[in-house]
Structure 1
């Protein structure tokens, strides 16, 4: 980083290896150090000149050959570059770095910057080789004459080597070796410099030097320094700014403009005068610029996710890279890639979706709410698995501070430290899907007792599960004591109905359906298999649940949730990333049937009134004892799952008589808080975007009717056809029109017949209407003219 030796700097600073700050001792040590430098300089110059001498011995020639040969361990890679995470629109979500550095080509560094650095560090750089023998000897003569270090002797190539070795150090021992005060280190540096002068052009060496040098206050490389001190790229720096940064390089701590502006200004002026001496700027320009203030415009680059506008999504991406072997064989290798690799990480985050979800969560469960409840939501695109949003009603940070948490409640333990939460009745959708896969019609009816004895279940190992001595009952969302169909049992979320349905289709079939849809416990373990599986006792994450429901919206195609679309390294080359692995896990018709039933939850069931103005489906979930509440819902374009609960423990702090920030809810169901969060976030996320419709399920699912409870059929006879059709459709029926019929009773153009006629039927049934074409015409007969009677009116 500097033009003088570390040893001489320590002597001048009074921090030499053997103690004190006294003037006489300091002067003596300086002279001894400079004498050593003179001897070393002579050796280095001799090594460079040896190949040109003909009278040297064999040993000297061998030494020179070794010195001039390229070192086997010379590696110019590994310079730490900062990585950045980008949203889908290319905006920055966060940056990660070990050293805040951005590598740029020489063409993106203003010419005035290049001149300023050359002037103060190595004005003859383009004229000499690895060692500027004239400059080195001149500097030594000046230093020995004054007894102080007044001029530097190391050229830019040597300084680059020193910075490179120090930057590549990954341990204290390596760093110490790069900074040790010894002739061996200096010889090693010069040998590397000789090799680099052969390997790279002068421009390339200079570019690398500008990008590796430290400019103080956490800014490494000229581009990061320009953005940090002046909030602009290096290509736009002016003379004042260029001279200031060039002056910092030799002593970045002593000339730090943020800590020592006076020193930085003096040093800047030295650079300006040196540029004038060289004729690279005129004296008047130098003087005018020297009279200016530094004009700093500081801009800090955050490191990590804490200050990100999407902190938990950012944290998810970070953990994906740090935990997935795709990005490196060891945790250390993966961390090195993220914090030193200069990656550009393109993600799936959609800001419209993210912001809508954050607003919804914060609105219904404020960050520092009086009840200390929490909420989390994950939003996934059907058919791609892309995570479009991920929010928690907290800031990312220490749990010791109210309103903050390090735990990402929206994700699995591997991506957020969460052990998951019981999912409640949202798991009933998997039992429904298993039943429909076995071609059970919507009208299939089962008795739902008020209490259910869990017998007759076997897990996937064939083992009996269930406890005949206990019973499960309808609670939270449910009701019972009568028969329900697949349709109405789902709409009303009847616990005992689903326990009976699960026994009918088989516990293992239900579990396998959930597994095909990507479900597993948040801790990574397989789901436990007991009779109450359909009631959602397994602990899962909102992200997994959202991805499973997204498969329904994608007509049975499941995609593993992904946050990273592609990554390029510092050279612009692609880095392998894990894919979504999309695959068809159920027939499209089965998924269409699931969608048909779950749509009714939003119109007639436990979440009625929670529609979003476009085709949508979903399922509420209320966990036992009101320890948590969920809602999972979707359209063909977006799926989301919302959890609301207490981070301190749901059973210990249930939501039975919840009052939060002045609003009292009583017992909290899935439709009480989670469904409104889902409604608001989905409406905001999809605003201005075209709606996609679900597909009608195959006809065989209607073989026993729609499964809806029967309702009265309006009598539309005598009404105009258009009005009659509108009336029946409003009542939930489908309408077809048959051939017109003659009618003595109903006027031409009005409905004369309807089939079935007035009575009751299931909503969704088809009603056939026939329009009157008027009275029947009698065939013409030869009747005589009727007689006329005088005195009577005609």
Structure 2
């Protein structure tokens, strides 16, 4: 009895105390008084321990927090292709903010019904709910029941998603009176500042709906593959029910519990008169009918993973998007950015198919390939393909390294470019006024001496003996045209000596070239042979300048960035400028066109005007092809990522196709050909411009061929023979001749010997030996053949390919 009596006295004492406190609460006339009650009653010991008086606490509570306006909600960012299709998404939380009008009214009713049915009637604090919580908490001596309304729940979620440190996260979730007071303080300020509809909208956008879906729009898309504006009664009730305990009521993991909870929501809506009882019963009888739609986070599953990674690194490294790396990452994963890019899905598909067709990701030779496509005149990156899947490089056929880009945008240290660097020497020579017919003797072996770098220092190895890459080259003269078509190493070393090493280097730099690690190009005599390691992207951008008639644009991937508030952000610019004269660029294109018709890549044309250059690195450690039209430029690399010199591309087999050695024309050129045809399919052809006349001052630059001796032939036969040999024909005055009958060819200039195809041969027709005895009209042919009235007949010069291997 004694123990029972003490227990009863304690119960009576506690009841008396609670009764007194409840009377005090009912006597409060304002929210400020209720705040004082929360401070004084919910945790009197805490307040007293801290030495905080109830009056000071109430005054602090009623003061609006300074950082209220600075709070935001993380939203997912989306990367879009040029046509608006999605490339990838990035998020800290998968969330898509929407306006209240974009949320079905039935959803709003369902959430309010189950979470805070008096939401539109009370202020920041629901007194009835709070009294229930106070009673429970005072009985237990701690905080066991919240009684929070939608406004307070919104504040709790807001503080949690904004927490970036462990301490902030603990403060946002710990079960303490201090946290409840802080939430209520924010709630009071919000209720004074925002309408109820706006608070509800924010709550629906921030709430967690389980299974990785944050906010009603993301949840609707995830569970039902539809927008929140399209949800019906049953679907709305299901999602409204998840909010209280997202993990327990997750309809994917716990469908039965989720269904039971849905039905509770439907009953509550019916009880409040917010749902038709018959329709609610019908909805309760339906299965969940989930139609899941997952949203990938990041680039790995993107259709253009390495381009996506390039864009991601652009955001994370460029100070235009934040002063610090942390700020930039926060912007990308929380800022709700819409990032519009330059990617052309058609070009991307064409490049990826071509790369994987010739060098599949899991090929037995362990080779990899990469291609970058750039639009001349804009610098827009149209495609970026790597012949590996994105992933852990220890797995066969996967890599994290973007071989198409520089180290700053993909971790690649670059690859030696080989003979694709020769056009920079060619451009420097043309820029100095050298005509196409400029000829240099190309020895079989060349020792580089007398070279100076841009600092005036002597560079080179007097003991080096540089050779050509195929038998039969060297030992004769080549012009700018034939030396380029045949990619003669010793010719370009001599040309570089004539032009100057520094001028050649500066030309490459004007066209945007630098090492893939970001350092300046190294300067040695073999510069023109392409020993500098570069990326396909930079090489494509340089060749794009030739296609754009000398206008160089830095490669760019982003065209527009808009944040969650609709504000446009600054983006990296292409900074287009005239790098070389239009005529010089046209002259380069004129010569490089021949590489695809009569040079090292003969037969690799794409059915429209195009130009390009092969590249094969020493010991077959890598192979390249870079080419362009006036509309699109592309560079392709093929090599072994394990190290080209340790694993040269000789005697390799890929998918049943075997190669004794891989040249630029063996794999890179066919990849380029297939990808360019696909990327440009359906687009109008754009021709190149004819180079200025002074470049033809020493002829076309083509190799000389024998001039047929047409003396004594009739006019028709002579024309046929000369045109077949690739020459043009003009006519001079008739001449008397004792040797050749009237109407036959009596003289030709130049005479039998050799000349460049396309040269003009002037013919003179015989008048016979006795002009007075000859009748007028003779057998000299048609009237149009008469001297002075005979036109120049254009030739169709076609030359057989040089007997040299591809380079």
Same fold per superposition (TM over 0.5): yes
**In structure 2, how many angstroms separate the alpha carbons of the residues matched to 1:658 and 1:763?**
40
Q: Which residue, out of 347, 351, 354, partners 1:360?
A: 354
> SS of the counterpart of 1:574?
coil
Check the 8 A contact 1:312/1:390 in 2, yes or no. yes
What is the CA–CA distance in structure 1 between the aligned matches of 2:465 and 2:264, rounded to whole Å? 88
Q: Which residue is 1:113 aligned to?
A: 107
Q: 1:759 to 1:68 in 2, by over 3 A?
A: same
**In 1, distance between residues paired with 2:100 and 2:548?**
49
1:423 aligned to which of 394, 417, 422: 417
2:493 aligned with 1:499: yes
Deviation at 1:735, TM superposition (A): 6.9
Q: Aligned to 1:345, which of 301, 318, 339?
A: 339
| 1:48 maps onto 2:31 in alignment | yes
Q: Secondary structure at the match of 1:272?
A: helix
- Going from structure 1 to structure 2, the CA distance change for 1:759 and 1:500 (only over 3 Å counts) comes to closer
1:582 aligned to 563, 567, 576, which one?
576
Work out which of the residue numbers 434, 440, 443 in structure 2 matches 1:440.
434
Q: Is the 8 A contact 1:50 1:60 kept in 2?
A: no
Could you tell me which residue of structure 2 aligns to residue 559 of structure 1?
Answer: 553
Q: 1:597 is matched with which residue?
A: 591
Any conservation in 1 of the 2:35–2:58 contact (CA below 8 Å)? no
Which deviates more from structure 2 when the two are superposed, residues 143-152 or residues 77-86? Answer: 143-152
Aligned to 1:568: 562
- CA drift of 1:134 comes to 2.8
Distance in 2 of aligned mates of 1:321 and 1:464: 42
Are 1:335 and 2:329 counterparts? Answer: yes
Partner of 1:409: 403
Greater Cα offset, 467-476 or 728-737: 728-737
SS at match of 1:575: coil
Please list the CA deviations of residues 294-324 of structure 1 after superposition, one character each: whole Å capped at 9, or x if unmatched.
1111111000000000011111111111111
C-alpha displacement of 1:665: 1.0
User: What SS does the corresponding residue of 2:182 show, helix, strand or coil?
Assistant: helix
For 2:23 and 2:396, the matched residues in 1 are separated by 61
182-191 vs 508-517, which moves further: 182-191
- 1:724 deviates by 6.0
Deviation at 1:135, TM superposition (A): 3.5
Partners of 2:471 and 2:320 in 1: how far apart? 43
Partner of 2:615: 621
TM-score (norm 1): 0.87
1:754, CA displacement in angstroms?
8.0
Q: Is the 8 A contact 2:536 2:635 kept in 1?
A: yes
Taking the aligned partners of 1:423 and 1:156, their CA distance within structure 2 comes to 63
Give me the whole-angstrom Cα distance separating, in 2, the residues matched to 1:158 and 1:44: 24
Looking at structure 1, the residues matched to 668 and 297 of structure 2 have their Cα atoms a distance apart, in angstroms, of 33
Q: 1:146 to 1:291 in 2, by over 3 A?
A: farther
1:579-598 C-alpha deviation (Å, 9 max, x unpaired)? 10000011101111111111
Distance in 2 separating the partners of 1:728 and 1:305: 61
Q: Residue 638 of structure 1 corresponds to which residue in structure 2?
A: 632
* Contact preservation (8 Å) 1:380, 1:639: yes
Return the match for 1:178 from 156, 172, 192.
172
CA contact (8 A) 2:119 2:149 kept: yes
Is the aligned partner of 1:658 residue 2:641?
no
Q: Determine the structure 1 residue equivalent to 2:216.
A: 222
5 Å matches for 1:386-405? 386-405=380-399
Count of residue pairs the alignment pairs up: 740
Deviation per CA, 1:70-128, whole angstroms, max 9, x where unpaired? 11122453311000000000000000000000011111111111111011011121121
Query: In the aligned structure 2, how far is the partner of 1:740 from the partner of 1:262?
Result: 106
User: Residues of 2 paired with 1:718 and 1:358: CA distance?
Assistant: 58
Q: Return the alpha-carbon distance in structure 1 between the equivalents of residues 488 and 125 of structure 2.
A: 85
Q: Which stretch of structure 1 is more off in the superposition, 98-107 or 143-152?
A: 143-152
Distance 1:666 1:51, change over 3 A: closer
Between 763-772 and 695-704, the greater mean CA deviation after superposition: 763-772
Partner of 2:451: 457
SS in 2 for 1:657: strand
Q: Deviations over 1:120-141 (max 9, x none)?
A: 0111211211111133325666
Question: 1:393-792 maps to which residues of 2 (within 5 A)?
Answer: 393-475=387-469, 479-712=473-706, 732=726, 760-766=754-760
Quickly say closer, same or farther: Cα 1:127–1:665, change in 2 above 3 A.
same
Question: Any idea what the Cα deviations from partners look like across 1:369-419, whole Å, max 9, x if unmatched?
Answer: 110101000000000000000001111000111111000000000101000
Mark the CA change 1:144 to 1:756 in structure 2 (over 3 Å): closer, same or farther: same
**Alpha carbons of structure 1 residues 298 and 724: separation in structure 2 relative to 1, 3 Å:** farther
Report the 3-state secondary structure (helix = DSSP H, G, I; strand = E; otherwise coil) of the residue aligned with 1:388: strand
Superimposed CA distance per residue, residues 644-663 of structure 1 (whole angstroms, 9 cap, x where no aligned partner): 00000000000122222221
CA–CA separation in structure 1 for the residues paired with 2:27 and 2:209: 29
Q: Is the 8 A contact 1:44 1:187 kept in 2?
A: no
Equivalent residue for 2:42? none
Q: What is the alpha-carbon distance in structure 2 between the residues aligned to residue 147 and residue 294 of structure 1? A: 41
Query: SS of the residue aligned with 2:650?
Result: coil
Matching residue of 1:309: 303
Q: Aligned equivalents of 1:677 and 1:437: distance in 2? A: 31
What is the Cα-based RMSD across aligned positions, in Å? Answer: 3.5
C-alpha change, 1:97 and 1:772, in structure 2 (3 Å) is farther
1:185-206, Cα deviation, whole Å (9 max, x unpaired)? 1111111111111221111111
Give, in whole Å, the separation in 2 of the partners of 1:40 and 1:292: 48
1:427–1:536 contact (8 Å) kept in structure 2: yes
